[in-house]
Amino acid sequence: MAIELRIAFFGSKGSGKTLASAAFVNFLKKRAGHVIAISDNNGIELQDALEIRGIQVLLGKNFGRVFQFLEGERQEVKELGFLPPIGSFPPGTNSKFIKVSKKDSFLSSFALQKENISLLSIGSNPESQKDFEQKAMDLMLGEIEGKEFSKTAGQEYMDVSSLSFVLNRILDNPIEFVILDSSSFNDYFLTESSFCLDLKIFVVEPSRESIMHYCTFFEKSQSKEKIFVLANKIKGRKDIEMLLKEIDIGRIIDFIPEFADKAAFFENTPAFKRIVQRITCTERNWESYYQALLKNYNEECIEWFDKLYGIRLEELVDKKFNYEKAFLTQ
């Protein structure tokens, strides 16, 4: 049966997360029709690891352009008079969508391209959950004036929102891969990622800090059945024993030795084959996906955005829309 593959690599700084992301993208490019790689930070490290040249367009800093490109033709958005910076804002019948193809108009405008890889970069990330929550509180209380993207909830909030917004507009078909190199540990994205990602790989090195980050991530995450571990920088049996004290061995995909260079890591194909094998061979249920997206959007509007804008943003939902029709019309 056909499967769609959206896989995210998470991990603390220095764990080897970005190198693992790049190596997996390199592994896939020889086996897939096309690969979208997304970095939710400034993307320089992933860009360098993939050896892709060019100047990035950071989607978080350009969320207004992104929103206008994908949603600007919707009548309900035109009538609203402004662009609500909400990552869970549901698509509609007249939305534009992103195809996993080098020829896609959105990727041509916002991504760096090399062979069958398209690289999208989001921007910076909040340093902590507390920082992110303060930005959201500023937004709700209206302490940041205006309704423009540059004045709403701070750049960190825009980055996380733009990531969710883009993921929910990708129409990926079988053997088309979307790979995310992510540093987002905040509750908002962990909720979003519970339905918009098929597999979450946490890269853990044998250190207390790295293990602690994984345990916190696992505890906060929904859809725990999608979470697995890539144990990296293993020097010997003591490192393995240290990890197994805190991490269920059934979640560990592979133990990767500490390599001296990038080329050696890129050649570690057994680990990457095991990642693909972890995907259950079932098609994505797009109706369930859409209902989960609607639930998130409605809850956020009731809790935050209706108060900020003084209108019921839930009424912007296009009740005629469904993803299956979008596949047929795009």
Task: Check pLDDT > 50 for residue 146.
Answer: no
Per-residue pLDDT, 8 = 92
* Mean pLDDT over the full length of the chain: 84
Compute, in degrees rounded to 10, the torsion defined by CA atoms 213, 216, 217, 219: 160
Query: In angstroms, rounded to a whole number, what is the distance separating the alpha carbons of residues 141 and 163?
Result: 24
Higher pLDDT among residues 330 and 180, named by residue: 180
pLDDT above 90: percentage of residues in the chain:
50
Weakest mean pLDDT among 146-150, 252-256, 307-311, 312-316: 146-150
Query: In angstroms, rounded to a whole number, what is the distance separating the alpha carbons of residues 181 and 62?
Result: 19
List the domain range (segments joined by +) for residue 311: 5-329
Per-residue pLDDT, 148 = 45
- Three-state secondary structure of 82-146: CCCCCCCCCCCCCCCCEECCCCCHHHHHHCEEECCEEEEECCCCCCCHHHHHHHHHHHHHCCCCC
Nearest to 247 by CA among 274, 275, 227: 227
Higher pLDDT among residues 262 and 172, named by residue: 172
Across the range 207-223, mean pLDDT stands at 91
Query: In angstroms, rounded to a whole number, what is the distance separating the alpha carbons of residues 164 and 196?
Result: 8
């970069």: which residue's tokens?
121
Query: In angstroms, rounded to a whole number, what is the distance separating the alpha carbons of residues 10 and 217?
Result: 9
Query: In angstroms, rounded to a whole number, what is the distance separating the alpha carbons of residues 26 and 97?
Result: 25
Task: Check pLDDT > 50 for residue 212.
Answer: yes
Task: Check pLDDT > 50 for residue 145.
Answer: no
Count of domains forming the chain:
1
Specify whether the CB–CB gap between 240 and 255 falls below 8 A.
Answer: yes
Per-residue pLDDT tens digits for 238-270? 999 999 999 999 999 999 998 867 888 888 888
Across the range 307-318, mean pLDDT stands at 89
Q: CATH number, domain at 201?
A: 3.40.50.300
End-to-end C-alpha distance for the chain, whole angstroms:
23
The pLDDT-based confidence of 3 (bands split at 50, 70, 90) is low
Across the range 289-300, mean pLDDT stands at 93
Per-residue pLDDT tens digits for 275-292? 888 776 567 789 999 999
CB atoms within 10 A of CB 72: 14
Specify whether the CB–CB gap between 243 and 252 falls below 8 A.
Answer: yes
Per-residue pLDDT tens digits for 112-144? 999 999 999 998 644 444 444 444 444 444 433
Higher pLDDT among residues 124 and 153, named by residue: 124
Task: Check pLDDT > 80 for residue 15.
Answer: yes
